[in-house]
Structure 1
Amino acid sequence: MDSLLADLTGITRSAVAKHWDKFEVAVDGKKSRKSATLNPGQTLEFTPFGVPTEPELIVQDHPGLEILHQDDDLVVINKPAGVAAHPAMGYEGPSVIGVLLARGIDPQTSGDSYRRGIVHRLDVGTSGVMVVAKTQSAYENLQAAFKDRQVHKTYRALAHGHFEHPEGLIDAPIGRSKSRDYRMAVRPDGRPAKTRYRVLEKVGMADLLELELLTGRTHQIRVHLSSLHHPCVGDELYGANSRICEKLGLGRQWLHAYQLGFTHPTTGEEMHFTAPIPEELQTAQQTLANLS
């Protein structure tokens, strides 16, 4: 029912779910649950509710966010897990934009104010290197570079199990899951997605991987690894072993945006940045190695 109401109102499903009681949803005069379905011949009634259509931008610093480089056109950061790229409906934690504003860095670009300057994203639970545009010219140039696949993105991931081949290309289209719309999945009708991987070393019951994104789909690495039955350690959303997650004390997926390379939008200089592996991931890796 919450999915239907989201379609009818144009509000996100998560926002509908959060404010469900305020909509006073009833089917045939009886109060309805979010999980209910509407059958042919039934009457749906609800009270329109003014849910904000734009998420609140909270200006708040976060000590874990490190600035790797800054100039007049852009800022390169090492984003910690637990910080979103930008605010979103239903999310109330810190964001990259909120942290930058708290530090006096105010990207002047077009688009939604709460995600200005953002040319690519990392999941909340993924750490690593990101670039944010500060000017409209840099914003447009970097957006085009990402779209044209002229940006080199390398990740490190710890994946359950051992790969049959030491390196390879995962070529599998990705779309939204039909069973759970907050997840993505490999689907024949999805958008093209390609990830190149290389096994760096075996770590107990897992493999440490270097991955290169050749496309940029939502949750791409997580979905691709899960589709091969090698989910990221700690990534319970995509099938990671929950008992191992508990033993590691890891409240996030073992996935880190390790390196980023691009051409500077103004100077034309080739820029390369590396974000060191966070201590909590190193600790989890060592613990996992000792479990075997």
Structure 2
Amino acid sequence: MEKMVHTIAEREKGDRIDKAISSLNADWSRTQVQQWIKDGDVLVNGKPVKTNYKCAEHDVIEISIPEPEELDAIPEKMDLEIYYEDGDVLVVNKPKGMVVHPAPGHLTGTLVNGLMYHCKDLSGINGVLRPGIVHRIDKDTSGLLMVAKNDMAHESLVNQLVENSVTRKYKAIVHGSIPHDYGTVDAPLGRDPKDRQSMTVVDNGKHAVTHFHVLERLGHFTFIECQLETGRTHQIRVHMKYIGYPLAGDPKYGPKKTLDIGGQALHAGILGFKHPRTGEYLEFEAPLPGYFDNLLEDLRKNG
């Protein structure tokens, strides 16, 4: 493991530790440095600090630069539906039923496996099992994802997500007939204390806002479009359940008697963001998958 020692100069006094370190090497992104700090690879005057530590003049910073880990996930040839690609970013339409990234004990068949075969250059900020992955959608949710091909692009796209400036619109079918045409759910989300594998609305949860409008009423179901203002885990699924209109087919948050469609009827159809290098706004739209179109037709006939 390579080590580096740096003494804080007067001009760096008051800078956050992650900013001070990332400025030492053009190849070190701030997000990467923050992970080093969290992992205890950065000491200030011999002691670990938090990422928001403000530097003082003459502080001695000792950085233990981790060896790059070898990627354990295996590249696999897949028929990926690529909507856009250049040297910095890639947009892919993930099918329903595909997991986004590998997990220990489950290293094959994921979107990451296919991306690794498709292109060798993916950002390394998220580590060995999630290269290039900036945001996720659930296994049984279909739709568009942006993927970073280098750390600069990764950091830019993550910052856009944090600033809530990425356009993310989803189509969904929910149980019940929503009487009003437009609505907003503003309710904080966190782990369900009764089931750590699920999310729920909790007082001390993370800020979460979902806007929705009705596209079509289908008897006992409603076809809606949701726009995310924030991007919390299972946000649309939990928010729609919270207001009494759970997603059709949802095995976790839906009613016991729901549609047997192999998971929630949810499609990430529109994705827009500023290109990390040029600043140009790009927006993409993926049509509804076949199963979703067929379900709409069935509900129009029988709903």
3-state SS in 1 of match to 2:114: helix
Tell me which of 85, 94, 115 is aligned to 1:100. 115
Give 1:277's aligned residue.
288
2:125 maps to 110
Cα distance in 2 for partners of 1:290, 1:90 equals 44
Give the distance between the partners of 2:71 and 2:289, measured in 1 at CA. Answer: 29
The 5-angstrom pairing of residues 180-195 of structure 1 reads 180-195=195-210
Match of 2:259 among 245, 253, 261: 245
Q: Which residue of 1 aligns with 2:277?
A: 266
State how many pairs are aligned. Answer: 234
- Specify the alignment match of 1:221 in structure 2: 236
* CA shift for structure 1 position 93: 5.4
Check the 8 A contact 1:168/1:198 in 2, yes or no: yes
Question: Would the aligned equivalents of 2:76 and 2:114 in 1 still touch at CA under 8 Å?
Answer: yes
Contact 1:55–1:88 (CA under 8 A) maintained in structure 2: no
Given residue 57 of structure 1, which amino acid in structure 2 is its aligned partner?
Answer: A
Whether the 8 Å CA contact 1:173–1:190 is kept in 2: the answer is yes
CA deviation string 1:64-85 (max 9, x = no partner) = x300000000100001011122
The one-letter code matched in structure 2 to 1:60 is: E
Match of 1:73 among 88, 104, 118: 88
One-letter amino acid of the counterpart of residue 158, structure 1:
I
1:149 to 129, 141, 164: 164
1:55 Cα shift?
10
Query: Aligned Cα RMSD in Å?
Result: 1.8
- State the one-letter code of the partner of 1:122: I
TM-score, L = length of structure 1: 0.76
Residue 73 of structure 2 corresponds to: 57
Equivalent pair of 2:73/2:107 in contact (CA under 8 Å): no
Unaligned runs of 5+ in 2: 1-69
Once residues 118 and 71 of structure 2 are traced to their aligned partners in structure 1, the CA distance between those partners, rounded to angstroms, is 21
Give 1 or 2: higher helix fraction: 1
Q: By how many angstroms is 1:229 displaced? A: 1.7
* The one of 264, 268, 274 aligned to 1:257: 268
Deviation at 1:288, TM superposition (A): 2.3
AA partner of residue 283 (structure 2)? H
Deviation of 1:94 after TM superposition, in Å, equals 2.1
2:6 aligned residue: none
Q: Matches of 1:285 and 1:237 in 2, distance apart?
A: 22
Matches within 5 A, 1:129-168: 129-168=144-183
In structure 2, the residue corresponding to 1:210 is in which secondary structure? Answer: strand
Letter in 2 for 1:260: L
Cα drift, residue 111 of structure 1: 3.1
1:104 positional shift: 3.3
Shift of 1:57: 1.9
Larger CA deviation: 129-138 vs 100-109: 100-109
Does structure 2 conserve the Cα–Cα contact (< 8 Å) formed by 1:173 and 1:188? yes
Q: Secondary structure at the match of 1:115?
A: coil
**Partner amino acid for 1:275?**
A
Deviation digits for residues 34-58 of structure 1 (CA, Å, limit 9, x no counterpart): xxxxxxxxxxxxxxxxxxxx99524
Q: Which runs of 5 or more residues in structure 1 are unaligned?
A: 1-53
Amino acid aligned to 1:245: L
Runs of 4+ in 1 over 6 A off after TM superposition: none
1:200 and 2:215 are equivalent in the alignment: yes
| Counterpart residue type for residue 59 of structure 1 | P
- Greater per-residue strand proportion: 2
Contact preservation (8 Å) 1:204, 1:290: no
